[in-house]
Amino acid sequence: MGKMVAEIEGLQKSFGDHVVLADISLHLEEGENLVIFGKSGSGKSVLIKCLVGLIVPDGGSITLLGTDITELSVPDLNKLRKKVGFLFQSAALYDSMTVRENLEFPLRDQKELTQAEIDALVLEALTNVGLEDAIDKMPVELSGGMKKRIGLARTLILKPEIILYDEPTTGLDPITAKEISRLILDVQKKYNTAAIIITHDVECARITANRMMVIKDGKCAAEGTFDELAASEDELVNSFFK
């Protein structure tokens, strides 16, 4: 077993009476892609938002890169967050900024970087996603797939050790979806990042997954490799692969 980069133990979260996460435990190893399946509304987004401290859980422990995030002060948490990339379901590009400014934003407080170095980083990130031409566009001028890719570029610019993808391929046509999945795989190979990929796209899982998990009723319902789960007899697990 490789080095552990993220570990969740007995995570719980409810909104009012509505229990979203009842008892989730998972771990993520260095350089590994973990794909999480789950029905819409099963709390997948809530789970990864808990991981980066956007949502405060009701119970359980979260260890990221060796530190328990529930005990961190805000400045320390922010430092840790720079090592964790988060690709939002909606890409969440800053729409008052150009693509270049979007990518520069995460680098703002790295005072030691010169403008030339920043430009190089921006270009590298854009080249990784194949969108060098879009550098001076505004987010409204981009298509859905381009937005996702720019979002990914913005995530990559800090060279994170862990990337959390929230439905990277949802809402895209099969060809673009496949491109994004390939991109995720490329990133894993190139930078040796670990990733949690939330999706209900079987094709994306087939391409990217080293290991998979299915969430149901706020609990982990099944775990295994893609092939193991694809061959599963379980009705719920099976339904994702149809």
Partner 1 sequence: MEGKAAINTVQTPEAGIGKRMRKFFISVSDLSAFTLRFVKEAFTPKYEIYEFIKQAYLVGYQSFPLVAITGFIMGLVLTIQSRPTLAQFGAESWLPAMVAVSIVREIGPVITALIFAGKVGSGIGAELASMKVTEQIDAMEVSGANPFKYLVVTRTLATTLMLPVLVVASDGISLFGAYVGCNLKGDVSFKLFFLQVFDKLTFSDVFPATIKTFFFGLAVGLIACYKGYNSNKGTAGVGESANASVVYGSLCIFIIDMIAVQFTSLFN
Ligand X SMILES: Nc1ncnc2c1ncn2[C@@H]1O[C@H](COP(=O)(O)OP(=O)(O)OP(=O)(O)O)[C@@H](O)[C@H]1O
Q: Where are the beta strands (DSSP E) in the chain?
A: 4-15, 18-29, 33-38, 59-64, 67-68, 84-87, 162-166, 194-198, 211-216, 219-224
Residue 233 interacts with partner 1 (CB under 8 A)?
no
**Interface pattern 80-109 for ligand X (x via CB under 6 A):** ---------x--------------------
Q: Which residues contact 31 (CB under 8 A, 6 or more apart)?
A: 2, 188, 192, 193, 194
Q: How many CB atoms lie within 10 A of CB 127?
A: 11
Report DSSP state, residue 30: T
CB of 148 to ligand X, least distance (A): 14
Q: Which residue minimizes CB distance to ligand X? A: 45
Q: Which of 183, 204, 199 is nearest to 131 (CA)?
A: 183
Residue 44 interacts with ligand X (CB under 6 A)?
yes
The count of residues interacting with partner 1 (CB under 8 A) is 25
Site for ligand X, residues 11 to 30, rule: CB under 6 A: 15, 20
Coil, strand or helix at 242 = coil
Between 3 and 105, name the residue whose CB sits nearer to partner 1.
Answer: 105
Coil, strand or helix at 132 = helix
Site for partner 1, residues 83 to 112, rule: CB under 8 A: 84, 86, 88-90, 92-96, 105-106, 108-109
Between 16 and 75, name the residue whose CB sits nearer to ligand X.
Answer: 16
Coil, strand or helix at 197 = strand
Residue 165 interacts with partner 1 (CB under 8 A)?
no
**Interface pattern 113-152 for ligand X (x via CB under 6 A):** ----------------------------------------
Residue 186 interacts with partner 1 (CB under 8 A)?
no
Residue 223, classified by CB atoms within 10 Å of its CB into exposed (0-12), middle (13-18) or buried (19+), is: middle
Binding site for partner 1 (CB under 8 A): 16-17, 49, 52, 54, 78-79, 81-82, 84, 86, 88-90, 92-96, 105-106, 108-109, 154, 158
Binding site for ligand X (CB under 6 A): 15, 20, 38, 40-46, 89
